[in-house]
């Protein structure tokens, strides 16, 4: 919402400048978005007169003007078609900042002719959004008159009103708060009722909760037409378009008093009752253009004043008159009137409506019809119910003053909804909740200034004004006092000290995620944070994409489904980087995946990918990306205290998005799969529009076993042998299908006390090894525990190793 | 005697001529080896008459010693030459690049999250978490949002399609539902923070459909707004690590707090850089207030016995302000150049001893 400083001064007697007002608003709880001070922007611009206009020698569409300006006679090049001798317009000197163009003028030749300034259009001065050519001003204006004087430009504040304060949607309500805050005196003039001179020929009917309170009156003999300048200036200062006096008056009161009204042309009304109706099936009841239609959709369309047609439903509060004995919709209550009964310049008799519409129903109708209107905005938040009759009187007075005519008696049906209950209030609660020490007299002064009624006693009883339907308890009153007294006076008070928790505040899983983040960063992966949602078809490729996880209102169709895996996002990001010329991205993310919509269906994963890169190095050393990734995965698991040695590596049973022959899982049994890793499936990569081999892993943080905390933080005793370890090499022959990891595990198990390690150091196929077989060379490390090994000891353990290998399907190569 | 000096001269010439250690060793063997020339002379001593042996022996030994000395000297020279040559041959061009190793990094939002957790842990806050997919009760109703009230609409909520029972799940619009979950399942006093992802259907330079919040909740018997202000003052000073920060603490409205407040930080934007400490723009970084009595009641806590405050801070925005990131949307674009520029070393884990960053 916006208002100009002079508009505020209609209701607040103050000397404060625009910045002081904005500051006071901020500190009272109104969020100021912008202070628009056109006078400041218009400062360099002044009135000038074009003396002569000649064709530019080098350009068809340009003219060279001689202009009398505040700086004397100037030669100016101008492209506006309306530039002509004798025109009075606005001149911008060299050095001026032109707000509409966002440029500062410099002296430079235009097609060979130096232009010593510029002639301005309304849009260049930000006086209007559009303009045809340069401004055409009254010839009475003297050269050098400041533009700010010509346009009567005054500062405007643009601000946001929180939904709890509908009373702030009128300048009058804001003035009340600013006065309470000490910015000036509130001009709360009593509204004088206008005495009717005849009974209203039109009566009104209400309908329960949807429109419990409805008033109106007829005013006959009015003259409609353009509104007076002061009213037009007010409306244009806040960006509203003047339409006609009658409409401008209702718009003015919407912004001045947060009090929407509506005027009907009496001659266009049918029957003598206007009623608010809820729950009617308009398909059956409504005649469209005089033709009774039932059923088919066009019959339900209502021609609203915004030029659009809307479908009426039984849930809406519809304003109707009666035509041919049947109800005819003439407005959507509190939202918008209809074309059929709107006022025009020919209007002579009007019915003025002032009612109260239920906020929830009004808001819902607004959402259903997608209409936005200033009336809807106010009724949805809650207009002061007790402003119905005063609002009617105020509007009547303005209409009589500006349009003439005579007013009927008022007709009123229903009653305003009850006020909020009185609040039992102990003023000490202000201090208890805020730490502020506000004298009780001041608490009373503030509440009274804001319109509350204070009855002192033990405790106090505070009555709530009708326009403050947001206040329903003592905490609300504390807020009123605190914001007016000043949030800046709240004393900064140290929290009572609480000793930090022994062992830190992170859960083991949080601590693991934190270590994993830093480890992966150290391993050379860049952490990404990507959306929790992705395309449903991609989610399906990665084992998710269930309809229950699809958003009803996604921000974009490719972000419509909660992700079952982080990998697609990282892959897509790597692809995006590659497309920009930065191949080989190594990315990771630690974040949520969603297997369902229940709280426990959300799990945290650690995901990482490596994109293919054409790395060339002078030394020609390279490493296999897949095994480099495996190394990173194992090191990462070690860093976060996962007992890597006891994990099973299973190949061939990964989920479908992995390359079946180049991926594996790490598990503690088939039901506890901790991680999957490897190369992504080529067809998945194709769908994601990625070239080359992408590798990655995804770890389920929640499934990782917790290290046993038997002995607290102690790492236990270290047992190390003083004896030198020794190594022996073995070469085995086995079928190609033999998994090297199984052979190594068998060998390690041959003598757990003595064998401390076994590593494959060569795989060989070819001459000397039978077809379909391979030779696997293993270096076994023996670590003697209590005595040096004799040849016989070594021979004995060697035999155990050979036997274990045999059992695993590998024969000692002879 | 002349025999010996001739031999000595001959051998010394050979030594001088030896061009490498192998040649020198050959000379040594031919002179002093078992069958060497000097060794051969010594063997002749036994055949000499006893009166000549002493003098002759002494003369031969002198020759032997001098030859040995010449051998040693030459060996030193040759070894030095050899080393020089080896060093020469082992030279590499160290201006050549080492094997490439990717530079990794921690995302600024996550770094800031760790910084914030470190600060609040020092103040005695525990860390709680909750689900991203929420229901209407935890995200709105229990937080005192009236049914169908415009305040709900202002949250730009992402909804799922209604289930069989007609209720629809949503993506939490703030971390506040975790307040509700914590208060319902626990007993006061509470002093906790809740980091996490939140979602709003919105996108521009300072809004993205997903962002991060840290929620704070302190409930006890005498906690008031002054404590809230102290927590912010302390947090801002520790977090920004500078006294140049200008903040504004102003009244606002949230359905779940009363009184409510927001805090802004002053900043300016210079092209692609964002700076705090001057300028005329305010960036809102947090919403807060005293927990509404209705919220406490909804969680089974007596508002006449307990009171306290809650706040929600925008983690990504704090990262923007502290580290000069101009556009929030880039935070989620995973551009490797951006991640390299704005990311943090894995080893710079925030801690209060070395400073946070």
Q: What is the ipTM of this complex?
A: 0.87
Per-residue confidence (pLDDT) for residue B164, from 0 to 100: 85
The C-alpha of B84 sits at a distance from chain A's nearest C-alpha, in angstroms, of: 26
pLDDT band at A300 (very low <50, low <70, confident <90, very high): low
Token reading at B272: 């692609």
The C-alpha of A505 sits at a distance from chain B's nearest C-alpha, in angstroms, of: 5
Name residues whose C-beta falls within 8 Å of residue A176's C-beta, 6 or more positions apart in sequence. A11, A167, A186, A188, A449, A450, A451
CATH number at residue A299: 3.50.40.10
Q: Are residues A677 and A802 in the same domain?
A: no
A107 labelled as ligand-binding? no
pLDDT at A257 over 60: yes
Burial B168-193 (b: 16+ CB within 10 A, else e): ebbbbbbbbbbbbbbbeeeebebbbb
% of chain A with per-residue pLDDT over 70: 97
Q: What is the average pLDDT across B160-165?
A: 88
Q: Are residues A87 and A167 in the same domain?
A: no
Helix, strand, or coil (residue A210): coil
As a whole number, the mean pLDDT across chain A is 91
pLDDT band at A299 (very low <50, low <70, confident <90, very high): very low
pLDDT at A155 over 90: no
Measured between beta carbons, the chain A residues lying within 8 angstroms of B182 are none
Residue A19 lies in a domain: yes
Measured between beta carbons, the chain A residues lying within 8 angstroms of B349 are 514, 518
Say which range, A120-134, A719-733, B248-262, has the weakest mean pLDDT.
Answer: A120-134
CA distance A27 to A686: 57
Helix, strand, or coil (residue A94): coil
The C-alpha of A121 sits at a distance from chain B's nearest C-alpha, in angstroms, of: 29
Q: What domain count does chain A have?
A: 6
Distance of CA A54 to the CA centre of its chain: 54
The C-alpha of A32 sits at a distance from chain B's nearest C-alpha, in angstroms, of: 10
Measured between beta carbons, the chain A residues lying within 8 angstroms of B339 are 526-528, 587
CA-atom Rg of chain A in angstroms: 41
Which residue of A528, A595, A607, A615 to mutate against B (max B Cβ within 10 Å)?
Answer: A528
CA distance B194 to A226: 58
Q: What stretch of H or E contains A731?
A: strand A726-735
Q: Report yes or no: B11 and B31 within 8 Å, Cβ to Cβ.
A: yes
Q: What is the pLDDT of residues B291-309, one digit of tens each?
A: 999 999 999 999 999 999 9
Q: What is the pLDDT of residues A338-387, one digit of tens each?
A: 999 999 999 999 999 999 999 999 999 998 889 989 999 999 999 999 99
CA distance A568 to A571: 5
CB contact under 8 A, B339 and A527: yes
Per-residue confidence (pLDDT) for residue A298, from 0 to 100: 47
CB contact under 8 A, A434 and B258: no
Residue A223 lies in a domain: yes
Helix, strand, or coil (residue A498): coil
Nearest Cα residue to A271 out of A201, A336, A332, A331: A201
CB contact under 8 A, A570 and B334: yes
The C-alpha of A267 sits at a distance from chain B's nearest C-alpha, in angstroms, of: 37
What percent of chain A is helix, strand and coil (3-state, nearest 5)?
Answer: 30, 25, 45
Q: Are residues A242 and A160 in the same domain?
A: no
CATH number of this structure's domain B108-342, picked from the four choices 3.30.930.10, 3.50.50.60, 3.40.50.10540, 3.40.50.300: 3.30.930.10
CB contact under 8 A, A27 and B250: yes
Going from the C-alpha of B132 to that of each of A562, B10, B139, B147, B198, the distances in angstroms are: 10, 97, 10, 21, 7
Q: Are residues A362 and A231 in the same domain?
A: yes
A480 labelled as ligand-binding? yes
Nearest to A618 among B96, B151, B255 (CB): B96
CATH number at residue A593: 3.30.930.10
CATH number at residue A749: 3.30.70.380
How do the domains of chain B map onto residue ranges? 2-88, 108-342
Nearest Cα residue to A586 out of A639, A524, A658: A524
Q: Which residue of A has its CA nearest to B348?
A: A518
Which residue of B133, B146, B290, B317 to mutate against A (max A Cβ within 10 Å)?
Answer: B133
Q: Are residues A233 and A129 in the same domain?
A: no
Q: Are residues A402 and A356 in the same domain?
A: yes
Cβ pairs bridging A and B (under 8 Å): 275
pLDDT at B357 over 80: no
Q: What is the pLDDT of residues B228-241, one digit of tens each?
A: 999 998 898 888 88
Token reading at B228: 């809230």
Residue A195 lies in a domain: no
CA distance B172 to A681: 34
CB contact under 8 A, B209 and A162: no
pLDDT at B6 over 50: yes
Q: What is the pLDDT of residues B282-293, one digit of tens each?
A: 888 899 999 999
Token reading at A477: 């009153």
Q: State residue A515 phi and psi, 5-degree precision.
A: -65, -45
CA distance B297 to B357: 41
Q: Which residue of B has its CA nearest to A488?
A: B249
Q: Are residues A404 and A296 in the same domain?
A: yes
Nearest to A490 among B104, B117, B225 (CB): B225
CB contact under 8 A, A621 and B99: yes
Q: Report yes or no: A155 and A4 within 8 Å, Cβ to Cβ.
A: yes
Going from the C-alpha of B130 to that of each of A592, B125, B135, B182, the distances in angstroms are: 11, 16, 12, 9
Alpha helices in chain B (DSSP H): 2-17, 21-32, 37-44, 50-90, 108-122, 136-139, 150-153, 177-185, 225-240, 293-298, 315-323, 336-342
Name residues whose C-beta falls within 8 Å of residue A762's C-beta, 6 or more positions apart in sequence. A731, A775, A776, A777
Q: Are residues A484 and A372 in the same domain?
A: no
Going from the C-alpha of B316 to that of each of A192, A533, A654, B96, B281, the distances in angstroms are: 55, 18, 36, 40, 18
CA distance B272 to B205: 12
Q: What is the average pLDDT across A661-675?
A: 93
CB contact under 8 A, B109 and A550: no
What percent of chain B is helix, strand and coil (3-state, nearest 5)?
Answer: 45, 25, 35
Residue A575 lies in a domain: yes
Q: What is the pLDDT of residues A207-228, one digit of tens each?
A: 888 899 999 999 999 999 999 9
Residue A514 lies in a domain: yes
B153 labelled as ligand-binding? no
Measured between beta carbons, the chain A residues lying within 8 angstroms of B220 are 496
Which residue of B225, B291, B316 to mutate against A (max A Cβ within 10 Å)?
Answer: B225
pLDDT at A297 over 50: no
Residue B218 burial (CB count, 10 A): 26
Exposed / middle / buried, residue A576 (Cβ in 10 Å: 0-12, 13-18, 19+): middle
CB contact under 8 A, A495 and B127: no
Residue A652 burial (CB count, 10 A): 10
Per-residue confidence (pLDDT) for residue A294, from 0 to 100: 54
Per-residue confidence (pLDDT) for residue B1, from 0 to 100: 46
CA distance B254 to B287: 8
Going from the C-alpha of A679 to that of each of B100, B102, B126, the distances in angstroms are: 22, 19, 40
Nearest to B148 among A363, A478, A483 (CB): A363
Partner B contacted by A506 (CB < 8 A): yes
CA distance A742 to A609: 27
The C-alpha of A128 sits at a distance from chain B's nearest C-alpha, in angstroms, of: 25
Nearest to B218 among A29, A495, A504 (CB): A495
The C-alpha of B316 sits at a distance from chain A's nearest C-alpha, in angstroms, of: 11
Between A302 and A581, the more confident residue is A581
Q: Are residues A288 and A374 in the same domain?
A: yes
Per-residue confidence (pLDDT) for residue A213, from 0 to 100: 95
pLDDT band at A292 (very low <50, low <70, confident <90, very high): low
Partner B contacted by A552 (CB < 8 A): yes
Residue A721 lies in a domain: no
Q: What is the average pLDDT across A737-762?
A: 91
- Rounded to 10 deg, the angle between the B37-44 and B2-17 helix axes is 160
Per-residue confidence (pLDDT) for residue A288, from 0 to 100: 52
Per-residue confidence (pLDDT) for residue A446, from 0 to 100: 97
As a whole number, the mean pLDDT across chain B is 89
CB contact under 8 A, B160 and A597: yes
Between A15 and B149, the more confident residue is A15
Q: Are residues A109 and A248 in the same domain?
A: no
Q: Are residues A295 and A381 in the same domain?
A: yes
What domain range includes position A470? 423-489
Partner B contacted by A558 (CB < 8 A): no
A349 labelled as ligand-binding? no
* Angle of CA points A144, A148, A152, to nearest 5°: 125
Partner B contacted by A510 (CB < 8 A): yes
- A72-76, A407-411, A785-789, B283-287: which has the highest mean pLDDT? A407-411
pTM, two decimal places: 0.84
Q: Which residue of B has its CA nearest to A620?
A: B99
Q: Are residues A621 and A602 in the same domain?
A: yes
Alpha helices in A95-189 (DSSP H): 147-151, 171-180
CA distance A558 to A561: 8
């Amino acid at each position: 919402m916006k208002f100009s400083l002079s508009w505020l001064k209609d209701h607040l007697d103050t000397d404060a400048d625009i910045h002081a007002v904005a500051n006071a608003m901020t500190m009272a709880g109104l969020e100021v978005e912008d202070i628009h001070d056109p006078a400041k922007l218009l400062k360099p611009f002044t009135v000038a007169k074009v003396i002569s206009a000649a064709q530019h020698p080098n350009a068809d569409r340009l003219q060279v003007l001689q202009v009398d300006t505040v700086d004397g006679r100037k030669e100016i090049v101008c492209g506006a078609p309306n530039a002509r001798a004798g025109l009075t317009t606005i001149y911008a000197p060299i050095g001026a900042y032109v707000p509409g163009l966002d440029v500062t003028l410099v002296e430079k030749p235009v097609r060979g002719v130096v232009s010593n300034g510029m002639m301005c259009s309304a849009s260049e001065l930000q006086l209007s959004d559009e303009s045809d050519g340069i401004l055409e001003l009254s010839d009475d204006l003297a050269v050098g008159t400041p533009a700010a004087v010509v346009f009567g430009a005054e500062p405007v504040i643009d601000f946001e009103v929180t939904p709890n304060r509908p009373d702030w949607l009128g300048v009058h309500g804001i003035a009340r708060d600013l006065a309470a805050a000490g910015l000036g005196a509130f001009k709360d003039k009593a509204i004088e009722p206008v005495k009717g001179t005849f009974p209203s020929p039109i009566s009104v009917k209400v309908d329960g909760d949807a429109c419990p309170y409805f008033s109106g009156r007829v005013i006959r003999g009015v003259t409609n037409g353009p509104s007076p300048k002061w009213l037009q200036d007010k409306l244009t200062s806040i960006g509203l378009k003047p339409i006609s006096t009658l409409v401008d008056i209702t718009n003015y009161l919407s912004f001045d008093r947060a009090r929407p009204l509506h005027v009907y042309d009496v001659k266009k009304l049918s029957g003598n009752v206007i009623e608010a109706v809820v729950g009617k099936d308009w398909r059956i009841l409504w005649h469209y253009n005089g033709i009774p239609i039932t059923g088919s959709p066009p019959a339900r369309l209502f021609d609203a004043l915004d030029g659009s047609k809307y479908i009426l439903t039984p849930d809406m509060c519809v304003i109707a008159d009666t035509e041919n004995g049947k109800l005819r919709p003439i407005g959507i209550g509190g939202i918008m009137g209809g074309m059929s009964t709107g006022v025009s310049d020919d209007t002579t008799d009007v019915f003025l409506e002032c009612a109260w519409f239920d906020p929830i129903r009004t808001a819902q109708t607004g959402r259903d019809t997608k209409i936005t209107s200033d009336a809807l905005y106010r009724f949805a938040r809650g207009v002061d119910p007790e402003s119905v009759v005063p609002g009617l009187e105020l509007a009547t007075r303005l209409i009589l003053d500006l349009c003439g005519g005579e007013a009927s008696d008022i007709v009123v049906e229903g009653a305003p909804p009850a006020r909020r209950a009185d609040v039992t209030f102990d003023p000490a609660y202000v201090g208890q909740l805020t730490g502020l020490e506000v004298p009780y007299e001041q608490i009373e002064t503030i509440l009274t200034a804001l319109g509350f009624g204070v009855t002192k006693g033990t405790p106090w009883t505070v009555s709530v004004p009708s326009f403050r339907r947001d206040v329903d308890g003592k905490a609300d009153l504390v807020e009123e006092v605190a914001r007016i007294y000043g949030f800046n006076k709240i004393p900064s008070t140290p929290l009572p000290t609480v000793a930090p928790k022994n062992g830190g505040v992170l859960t083991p899983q949080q601590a693991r995620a934190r270590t994993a983040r830093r480890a992966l960063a150290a391993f050379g992966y860049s952490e990404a944070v990507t959306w929790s949602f992705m395309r449903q078809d991609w989610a399906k490729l990665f084992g998710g994409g269930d309809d229950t996880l699809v958003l009803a209102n996604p921000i974009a169709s490719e972000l419509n489904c909660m992700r079952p895996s982080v990998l697609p996002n990282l892959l897509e990001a790597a692809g995006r980087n590659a497309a920009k010329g930065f191949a080989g991205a190594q990315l990771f993310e630690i974040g949520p995946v969603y297997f369902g919509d229940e709280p426990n269906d959300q799990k945290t994963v650690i995901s990482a990918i490596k994109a293919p890169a054409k790395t060339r190095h002078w030394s020609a050393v390279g490493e296999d990306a897949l095994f480099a990734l495996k190394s990173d995965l194992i090191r990462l698991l070690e860093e976060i205290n996962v007992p890597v040695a006891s994990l099973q590596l299973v190949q061939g049973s990964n989920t479908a998005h992995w390359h079946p022959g180049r991926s594996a899982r790490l598990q503690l049994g088939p039901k506890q799969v901790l991680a999957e890793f490897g190369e992504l499936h080529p067809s998945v990569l194709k769908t994601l529009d990625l070239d080359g081999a992408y590798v990655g892993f995804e770890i389920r943080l929640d499934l990782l076993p917790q290290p046993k905390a038997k002995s607290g933080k102690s790492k236990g005793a270290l047992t190390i042998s003083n004896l030198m370890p020794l190594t022996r090499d073995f070469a085995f022959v086995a079928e190609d299908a033999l998994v090297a990891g199984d052979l190594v595990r068998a060998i390690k198990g041959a003598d757990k006390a003595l064998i401390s390690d076994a590593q494959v150091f060569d795989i060989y196929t070819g001459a000397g090894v039978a077809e379909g077989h391979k030779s696997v060379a293993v270096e076994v490390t023996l670590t003697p525990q209590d005595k040096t090994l004799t040849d016989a000891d070594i021979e004995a353990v060697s035999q155990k190793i050979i036997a274990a290998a045999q059992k695993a399907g590998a024969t000692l190569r002879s | 005697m002349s025999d010996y000096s001739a031999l000595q001269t001959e051998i010394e010439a050979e030594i001088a001529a030896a061009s490498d250690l192998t040649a020198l060793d050959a000379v040594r063997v031919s002179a002093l080896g078992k069958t060497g020339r000097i060794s051969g002379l010594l063997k002749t001593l036994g055949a000499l008459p006893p009166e000549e042996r002493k003098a002759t022996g002494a003369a031969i030994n002198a020759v032997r010693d001098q030859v040995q000395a010449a051998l040693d000297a030459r060996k030193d020279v040759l070894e030095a030459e050899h080393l020089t040559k080896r060093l020469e041959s082992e030279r590499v061009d160290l201006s050549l690049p080492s094997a490439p190793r990717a530079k990794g990094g921690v995302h600024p939002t996550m770094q800031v999250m760790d910084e914030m957790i470190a600060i609040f842990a020092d103040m005695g806050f525990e860390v709680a978490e909750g689900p991203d997919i929420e229901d209407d009760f935890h995200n709105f109703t229990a937080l005192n949002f009236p049914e169908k009230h415009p305040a709900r609409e202002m949250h730009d909520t992402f909804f799922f399609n209604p289930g069989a029972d007609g209720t629809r799940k949503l993506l939490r619009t703030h971390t506040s539902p975790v307040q509700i979950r914590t208060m319902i399942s626990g007993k006061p006093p509470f002093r906790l923070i809740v980091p996490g992802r939140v979602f709003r259907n919105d996108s521009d330079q300072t809004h993205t459909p997903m962002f991060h919040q840290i929620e704070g909740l302190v409930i006890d018997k005498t906690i008031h707004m002054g404590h809230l202000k102290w927590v912010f003052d302390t947090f801002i000073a520790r977090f920004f690590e500078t006294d140049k920060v200008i903040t504004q603490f102003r009244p606002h409205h949230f359905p779940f707090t009363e009184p409510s407040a927001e805090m802004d930080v002053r900043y300016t934007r210079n092209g692609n850089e964002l700076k705090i400490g001057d300028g005329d723009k305010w960036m809102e970084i947090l919403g807060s207030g005293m927990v509404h009595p209705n919220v406490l009641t909804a969680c089974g806590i007596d508002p006449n016995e307990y009171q306290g405050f809650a706040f929600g801070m925008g983690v990504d925005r704090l990262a923007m302000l502290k580290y000069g990131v101009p556009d929030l949307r880039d935070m989620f674009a995973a551009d490797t150049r951006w991640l390299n520029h704005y990311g943090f070393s894995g080893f710079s884990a925030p801690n209060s001893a070395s400073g946070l960053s």
